[in-house]
Amino acid sequence: MVIPAQPKPLQGEPMVIYMGPQHPSTHGVLQVELHTDGEIVNRAIPRIGFLHRCKEKIGESVPYDAYVPYTDRMDYLAAMNTNWAWASAVEKLAAIEVPERAEYIRVYVAEFNRIASHLVALATYGLDLGAWTPLLHAFRERESVLDILEELSGGRLCFGYMRIGGVANDITPRSIEMGKAFLKQFRAKLDSLNELLSFNHIFIRRAANIGVIPGEQAIAYGMTGPMLRASGVDWDMRRDEPYSIYPKLNFDVPVGQGLKGKTGDNWDRYWVRVQEMYESMKILEQVIDGLPEGEFRAKVPAILRPPAAEVYCRQECPRGEVAFYLISDGGKTPYRMKVRGPSFCNLSILETISKDMLIADLVSTLGSFDIVMGEVDR
Amino acid sequence: MEHIEIFNRLRQQFGEEVVLEHVVTGDEAKGFRDPYILLKTESLAEVARFLKDDEALAFDMLHCISGVDWPEYFESVYHLFSFKHRHMATLKVRTSKDDPKVPSVTSVWPAADWHERESYDLVGIRYEGHPDLTRILLPEEWEGHPLRKDYETPTHEHLRELGL
């Protein structure tokens, strides 16, 4: 038997580790270059672009209506919302009136998609921190939501349901029944998910007081959506710069309050998303009650030629504000189109806040960002 | 504050030589769309600082930066938002085709960091004063800037030569 020599003391030298692009907790093809000193992260540099598909270049060569399916593949967890952001940008550019019924249907699918997207966000966040079971519960609920969206659009992930001036198909009585049945039981399911994960002591210890982003810093880095609200900034496009039928709807905007730690920590970001699902349910109940009769799509010319002008149109999607900047020269395709993805802006703060963090806490922080690489890289 | 009032405030502060023009896009017949303010390129950083610090304007958020390739010049477009006053503004600066250079605004809004890198990567505008102006979406060894109108899409053979 060989007796090993005295173990060498730890070197304590800085070391560079590449986390990703195939690491499970990077939520897609993100690479984070970690400069570590033992377990401490000195610097974490996000490297992106692995999923770049030239969306903006493609946008310059296809007609406005044909671009809808491309927007599906940006934020593929909230395809309806990105679809809608594109459709409304083109409608603003071409001055198209959307029928009221179409607006109701849009809110119906968009809020369901918000629930589905937030369910993935918190399920995978639990998974990052070692909680397996909530994932199964959350994904079962998400399946029911996807069934509703499939009933309307035929798709389960990339829907392509929005059209310029409305939606592809009218809402069916069956999908409304499915929606009602889902809303009836989902509140209780969400409550039980809270007991399982949100107020779990181990989960709180891993999430609270970590990755704290103060409100001012969040604004300076251009953060939007749940991440901004978790930092205590009371801003939601749906309420503060309302579009579509949101002014008619009654809902609250959850804001981070530092319930378990400091305002703007990982737990706050998680908790804002949970509360937003309750608010989405409120919205959906009102939409089902108030659905008017009428057209589901406006009459739009087969070949759309908007006037030579520019618009910047933004909308509140599950991850934050998606904005499209469109420049038209009067032709069939945009002269230039630019997508402002919320995940792209939200991720840019990672390097700043991850300094002197433990590697395990970096995983927790990144999970709470809820990024979708399809939209970071476009 | 209305967009034209923001323009007037900037004009009052910096004069006609810096704050060049207020343009409302679109036309009379088909309706007007979003307006923008055209600035002198060299004074961008100075104006940006004022936009952020001035009480009446208080543009604390940089929403987006887009690079645009026009036939005669490149444009860098800034969409700003103020949480305090809840108003938006669009700024534009122009730069030459041969040597596209624009002052960086990263020191004013940290959000500009990635947006400027993206614009450099895809359109090829150089942001002077940026701490680390490297490609962000494309590989470091990529040739050309894809969102330029004269960009030729590489063939498979070409990509293989590059080892991509």
pLDDT, tens digit (0-9, with 9 covering 90-100), for A157-170: 888 899 898 898 88
Phi-psi region of A264 (alpha: psi -120 to 50; beta: other; left: phi over 0): left
Estimate the share of chain B in helix, then strand, then coil, as percent rounded to the nearest 5: 25, 30, 45
From residue A241, give the alpha-carbon distance in Å to each of A314, A317, B105: 10, 14, 27
Whole-complex ipTM: 0.88
Instruction: Please state the rounded mean pLDDT for residues A205-222.
Output: 89
Judged by CB atoms closer than 8 Å, whether chains meet at A336 and B69 is answered as yes
Residue in B60, B90, B109 nearest the CB of A312 = B90
Residues of chain A in Cβ contact (below 8 Å) with chain B: 48-49, 52, 54, 56-57, 60, 92-93, 95, 216, 219-222, 233, 235, 240-241, 307-312, 314, 321, 323, 325, 327, 336, 338, 340, 344-345, 348, 352, 377-378
**Res A4 pLDDT > 60:** no
Return all residues near A191 (Cβ < 8 A) that are at least 6 apart: none
Residues A26-61: pLDDT tens digits? 777 888 898 888 888 888 999 898 888 888 888 888
Nearest-neighbour CA in chain A from B27: distance (Å)? 8
Of the candidates A342, A284, A344, A286, the one whose C-alpha atom is nearest the C-alpha of residue A317 is A342
Does B30 lie at the interface with A, CB-CB under 8 angstroms? yes
Which pLDDT score is estimated for B103? 92
Catalogue the long-range contacts made by A12-19 (C-beta closer than 8 Å, 24 or more residues apart).
A12/A37, A12/A38, A14/A42
pTM exceeding the 0.90 threshold for the entire prediction: no
What does residue A326 show for φ and ψ, rounded to 5 degrees? -115, 130
CA distances for B26 relative to A31, A85, A215, A323, B73, angstroms: 43, 21, 37, 20, 20
- What tens-digit pLDDT sequence spans chain B (164 residues)? 888 888 888 888 888 888 888 888 877 777 788 889 999 898 898 899 998 888 888 899 999 999 999 999 999 999 999 988 888 999 999 999 888 999 999 999 999 999 999 999 999 899 988 998 899 988 888 888 888 888 888 778 777 777 76
Query: Can you give the pLDDT at residue A8?
Result: 60
Cβ neighbour number for residue B68 with a 10 Å cutoff: 22
Span A272-308, pLDDT tens digits: 999 999 999 999 999 999 888 888 888 888 888 888 8
Domains and CATH numbers, chain A: 54-335 (1.10.645.10)
Residues in chain B: 164
